[in-house]
Amino acid sequence: MYPKNLKYTETHEWVEVDKDTATVGITNFATKQLTDLVYVELPSMRAKVAKGSSFGVVESVKAVSDLHSPVSGTVVKVNEKLSKEPEIVTQDPYGKGWMIKVKIEDRTDLDALLDSEEYEELVKKEKKQ
């Protein structure tokens, strides 16, 4: 159900790692919880992000939610399209809806992330609550 090539956080962000760069976005589950996104706030280029801390905000008609960085490092690319078209995140969360790319400072940050099966179990538990 969730792409197997990605890693996941317990706060519903996904990570795709390519060498020393992590592409970060939010999961399909997160977009369904938020429903219609109306605003996405992302950091600027070269901003420092810390694992577990907020790197931005998504706002929907239902709620405002912080985005949490799955890794520590430096932002090397930002998906600028999302500021004008936040609905891209909902339409294609694992593709065109990516949010930031981060040059990873410490690869051991990846060790604490969930694989697709572990993330699916987390989602099942949350749906029951």
Query: pLDDT tens digits, residue range 33-60?
Result: 998 899 999 999 999 999 999 999 999 9
d(CA 60, CA 74): 27
Q: Could you tell me the pLDDT band of residue 108, with boundaries at 50, 70 and 90?
A: very high
Q: Could you tell me the pLDDT band of residue 128, with boundaries at 50, 70 and 90?
A: confident
Angle at 38 between CA 54 and CA 102, to 5 degrees: 35
pTM above 0.75, yes or no: yes
Residue 57 · residue 66 · CB < 8 Å: yes
Residue 24 has pLDDT above 90, yes or no: yes
Mean pLDDT of 12-18: 97
